[in-house]
Amino acid sequence: MNSEDATIAAAVGKQRDSIAQAIEVIADRLRSGGRLIYIGAGTSGRLGVLDASECPPTFNTDPSQVVGLIAGGQRAMSGRGRCGRLTQCGRRRSQSLNLSDKDVLVGIARAGARPT
């Protein structure tokens, strides 16, 4: 585990320009009244929900400004919920948010994974 952890900084460094660009887009959209919406399944989804839930107490944001969606809904937070396809769950859940062109939807997946 420690050996794998040691590779993180280099991997992030290789993506530095893409990450910086994403940060600028997200910051601009938030400043214009948009939202940051994370969507994922399993552990990836739980981490998105966790990050979204930390924004109000840590950064004093409105709870609706950063949103975390997880395939399988609330039950999936404890590993009990299941959804056969992330795209189906994501479509249903994101439609209820009334997305606009000001919002940023960020899909989170484990390395090498591709949502189905």
H helices of 60-116, where? 86-95
Give the whole-angstrom CA distance, residue 44 versus residue 108: 6
- Are 38 and 106 contacting, i.e. CB atoms less than 8 angstroms apart? yes
Tell me: pLDDT of 110 over 80. no
- Are 69 and 39 contacting, i.e. CB atoms less than 8 angstroms apart? yes
What is the band of 85 on the pLDDT scale with cuts at 50, 70, 90?
low
Tell me: pLDDT of 72 over 80. no
Give the whole-angstrom CA distance, residue 108 versus residue 28: 20
Give the whole-angstrom CA distance, residue 27 versus residue 16: 16
Dihedral sign, Cα of residue 44, residue 50, residue 51, residue 52:
positive
Tell me: pLDDT of 116 over 60. no
More confident residue, 101 or 71: 101
Tell me: pLDDT of 31 over 60. yes
Tell me: pLDDT of 29 over 70. yes
Query: What does pTM read for this prediction?
Result: 0.80
